[in-house]
Amino acid sequence: MKQTSTTKTLATSEDDAPALSQANFDGAQFRIGKQNVSRTEWQKAVRGRIAKQRISIMLDAPIPFIRIKAEGRVLKTEHSERDVPLVGMALDAMRRHPDGFPRYFDKGSNLSATLMKHFKKHELLPTDKHTIYSFRHSFKDRLKAVEAPEELIDEMMGHTIAKPKYGDGYGLKLKLKYLQAIALTPPLLAAA
């Protein structure tokens, strides 16, 4: 996402970090550009932006990955275009659906609604406040927990990096190392 503040924070240990409560999140302000919007308007804009990205699934590469690119579209930032290795259940899902899910192309809101319905029906969300978009936050938190470099995390999430973009960024091999550390894998089937 585009940085909306120029406030710099000092690196602190976990013990020095301010405690956040649900009230902090409930009182969050949402913006599109410089305009304040409702949570619903902001979520719709995010879903619309995601739906306009083209994803190529590269299963035959030495390191299977997805490539997110513009393909005749305008992405929010140059950093939105990226390669992300596939691991764990994500790799399994793409092997079962090598063409992805074309019915949701350009229909991010439909995908989000379908996923929310499934997750609610099967009680897969920790609280009523969680949404499918919460997975992006969880992804970032889990990468931080395995000490992935902040720039690598931002690159995989498609966030703007404050420094100029030189070269190809982090390679698939290094991204794979950190993603394997947080990969979700299916539970083992109980032996009969």
pLDDT tens digits, residue range 13-61? 444 445 556 665 566 666 666 677 777 776 676 665 554 456 788 898 9
Quick check: 192 pLDDT over 50? no
pLDDT at residue 143 in the model: 94
Mean predicted confidence (pLDDT) in 139-158: 91
Residues of the chain above pLDDT 70, percent: 62
pLDDT of amino acid 72: 58
Q: Is the pLDDT of residue 12 over 50?
A: no
Q: Which has the closest alpha carbon to 165: 176, 173, 154, 175?
A: 154
Determine the distance from the C-alpha atom of residue 26 to the mean position of all C-alpha atoms in its chain, rounded to a whole number. Answer: 21
SS3 at position 144: helix
If pLDDT is split at 50, 70 and 90, which confidence band does 128 have? Answer: confident
Q: CB-based contacts of 25: which residues, under 8 Å, 6+ apart? A: 129
Please enumerate in sequence order all residues whose Cβ is within 8 A of that of 89, keeping only pairs 6 or more positions apart, or say none.
Answer: 183, 184, 185, 186
Rounded to 5 degrees, what angle do the CA atoms 112, 117, 113 make?
25
pLDDT one-digit tens code per residue, 49-98: 554 456 788 898 999 998 887 665 555 556 677 889 999 989 998 999 98
What's the pTM value of the predicted model, to 2 decimals? 0.63
